[in-house]
């Protein structure tokens, strides 16, 4: 059973909330921190939420093949630093990638043993409410993210497992049985 868990789904579906809850119930979870070219949001810490890098620094990561996957999403680039993921897997941790569809497809090609889980919203209207209520995007960006979400959700047949995040506790009930046992 794979120790690499990939949670995929549209922006606002609650992947981060699921990961936060998973970290409360499993001490062996390590969340990969992505690099991004977007500006930090209020309260985000470099190296904790993301590695905030310039376009030139991101180009260098690509050129050196230092990313497991990368993609452009809503006008910004995001990528998973490869070496840290490999190192944490080798140490026996359950590595979690919280990524979007294009990146997920790249990971599945490089690491086909990945435990691939798409997180679905209970409805598009609920997803819109979540994006709007979190207050981190302007109305135009919410519309852009909803359009992307519709396209992403059409790809759910590409994933081995689907879970609906109507509530975090229900999502966890669906996720926990899919995971490898925690080593004591």
Digit-coded pLDDT (tens) for 143-155: 988 888 889 999 9
Question: Is residue 79 domain-resident?
Answer: yes
Containing structural domain, residue 53: 4-178
- Distance between CA atoms of residues 85 and 115, nearest Å: 14
pLDDT tens digits, one per residue of 102-139: 899 999 998 999 999 999 999 988 888 888 888 777 88
CA–CA distance from 168 to each of 20, 57, 118, 150 (Å)? Answer: 10, 35, 14, 21
**Domains held by the chain: number:** 1
pLDDT exceeds 80 at position 179? yes
* CATH assignment at residue 49: 3.40.50.300
The structure's pTM equals: 0.87
pLDDT exceeds 70 at position 184? no
Question: Is residue 122 domain-resident?
Answer: yes
Question: Is residue 25 domain-resident?
Answer: yes
Tell me if 55 sits within 8 A of 125, measured CB to CB.
no
Rg (CA), the chain: 16
Structure confidence at residue 73 (pLDDT): 77
Find the mean pLDDT for residues 145-170: 94
> Look-up: residue for tokens 């509530």?
167
Structure confidence at residue 1 (pLDDT): 66
Band of pLDDT at residue 59, cut at 50, 70 and 90: very high
Question: Is residue 95 domain-resident?
Answer: yes
Band of pLDDT at residue 76, cut at 50, 70 and 90: very high
Question: Is residue 130 domain-resident?
Answer: yes
pLDDT exceeds 80 at position 18? yes
Tell me if 54 sits within 8 A of 61, measured CB to CB.
no
Question: Is residue 183 domain-resident?
Answer: no
Higher-confidence position of 74 and 80:
80
Question: Is residue 94 domain-resident?
Answer: yes
For the ranges 50-64, 116-130, 166-180, the lowest mean pLDDT is seen at 116-130
Structure confidence at residue 137 (pLDDT): 77
Question: Is residue 184 domain-resident?
Answer: no
SS3 17: helix
């Amino acid at each position: 059973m794979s120790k690499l868990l990939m949670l995929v789904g549209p922006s606002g579906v609650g992947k981060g909330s699921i990961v936060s809850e998973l970290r409360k119930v499993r001490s062996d979870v390590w969340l990969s921190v992505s690099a991004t070219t977007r500006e930090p949001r209020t309260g985000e810490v470099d190296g904790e939420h993301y590695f905030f890098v310039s376009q030139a620094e991101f180009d260098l990561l690509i050129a050196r093949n230092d990313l497991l996957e990368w993609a452009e999403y809503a006008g910004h680039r995001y990528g998973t630093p490869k070496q840290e993921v490999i190192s944490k897997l080798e140490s026996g941790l359950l590595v979690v990638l919280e990524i979007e569809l294009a990146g997920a497809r790249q990971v599945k090609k490089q690491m086909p043993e990945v435990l691939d889980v798409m997180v679905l919203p209970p409805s598009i209207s609920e997803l819109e409410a979540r994006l709007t209520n979190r207050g981190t995007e302007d109305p135009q960006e919410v519309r852009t993210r909803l359009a992307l979400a519709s396209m992403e959700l059409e790809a759910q047949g590409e994933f081995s497992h689907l879970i609906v995040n109507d509530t975090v506790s229900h999502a966890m009930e669906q996720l926990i049985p899919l995971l490898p046992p925690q080593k004591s």
